[in-house]
Amino acid sequence: MSTTWVPVVAEAGFGVDNLPYGVFSPQGQAPRVGVRIGDHVLDLADALGDEVFARPSLNPFLETGRARWSEVRARIRELLTDESHRQVVEPALHPLERVGLHMPFAVADFVDFYASEEHASNLGRMFRPDTEPLLPNWKHLPVGYHGRAGTVVPSGTPIARPCGQRKAPGEESPTFGPSTKLDIEAEVGFVVGTGSRLGQPVPPKDFAEHVFGVCLVNDWSARDIQAWEYVPLGPFLGKSFATSVSPWVVPLEALAAARVATPAQDPEPMDYLTESEPWGLDLQLEVELNGQVVSRPPYAGMYWSPAQMLAHMTVNGASLRTGDLYASGTVSGEAAGTRGSLIELTWNGTEPLQLSGGQPRTFLADGDTVSISATAPAEDGGRIGFGAVTGTIRAAECEPAG
Annotated binding site: 112, 114, 128, 185, 187, 219, 226, 230, 239, 243, 330
- The rounded Cα 167 to chain-centroid distance in angstroms is 30
Half-sphere exposure of 201 (CA within 13 A, CB side): 14
Least distance between a copy of itself and beta carbon 313 (Å): 8
Per-residue binding letters, 254-293, with a copy of itself (x by CB under 8 A): -------------x--xxx---------------------
- Quote the CA–CA distance of 56 and 39 in Å, as a whole number: 21
Q: Which residues belong to the annotated binding site for Mg(2+)?
A: 219, 239, 243
133 binds a copy of itself (CB under 8 A): no
| Residue from 276, 316, 350, 356 in contact with a copy of itself (CB under 8 A) | 316
185 binds a copy of itself (CB under 8 A): no
Cis bond before residue 360 (omega within 30° of 0): no
Least distance between a copy of itself and beta carbon 61 (Å): 20
- Quote the CA–CA distance of 262 and 273 in Å, as a whole number: 12
Task: Say if residues 80 and 48 touch (Cβ distance below 8 Å).
Answer: no
For the question of residue 119 being annotated catalytic, the response is yes
The 8-class DSSP code of residue 298 comes to B
- Quote the CA–CA distance of 336 and 296 in Å, as a whole number: 9
Per-residue binding letters, 341-360, with a copy of itself (x by CB under 8 A): --------------------
| Residue from 224, 324, 344, 368 in contact with a copy of itself (CB under 8 A) | 324
Task: Say if residues 245 and 106 touch (Cβ distance below 8 Å).
Answer: no
Q: Which of residues 373-402 bind a copy of itself (CB under 8 A)?
A: 397-398, 402
Task: Say if residues 59 and 47 touch (Cβ distance below 8 Å).
Answer: no
Least distance between a copy of itself and beta carbon 343 (Å): 14
Q: Which stretch binds a copy of itself (CB under 8 A): 64-72, 236-244, 282-290, 297-305?
A: 236-244
56 binds a copy of itself (CB under 8 A): no
- Quote the CA–CA distance of 343 and 223 in Å, as a whole number: 8
193 binds a copy of itself (CB under 8 A): no
Nearest-5° Cα angle at 376, 375 to 382: 100
| Residue from 146, 263, 334, 366 in contact with a copy of itself (CB under 8 A) | 146
Active-site hit among 40, 119, 210, 312:
119
Half-sphere exposure of 339 (CA within 13 A, CB side): 20
85 binds a copy of itself (CB under 8 A): no
Per-residue binding letters, 10-49, with a copy of itself (x by CB under 8 A): ----------------------------------------
What is the phi/psi pair of residue 291, to 5°? 85, -5
- In sign, the C-alpha dihedral spanning 147, 150, 154, 156 is negative
234 binds a copy of itself (CB under 8 A): yes
Please name the amino acid found at residue 41. Answer: V
315 binds a copy of itself (CB under 8 A): yes
Residue 252: name the closest of 73, 78, 374 by CA: 73
> For residues 90 and 176, which CB has a smaller minimum distance to a copy of itself in the complex?
176
> For residues 208 and 398, which CB has a smaller minimum distance to a copy of itself in the complex?
398
Task: Say if residues 219 and 185 touch (Cβ distance below 8 Å).
Answer: yes
Least distance between a copy of itself and beta carbon 192 (Å): 10
Least distance between a copy of itself and beta carbon 391 (Å): 12
- Quote the CA–CA distance of 351 and 337 in Å, as a whole number: 13
* Helix H or strand E segment including 126: helix 117-127
Strand partners, 110: 147, 325
Catalytic residues: 119
* Residue numbers at the binding site for a copy of itself (CB under 8 A): 108-109, 114, 127, 135-137, 140-141, 143-151, 153, 160, 162-165, 167, 173-174, 176, 198-199, 201, 222, 225, 228-238, 240-242, 267, 270-272, 312-313, 315-321, 324, 397-398, 402
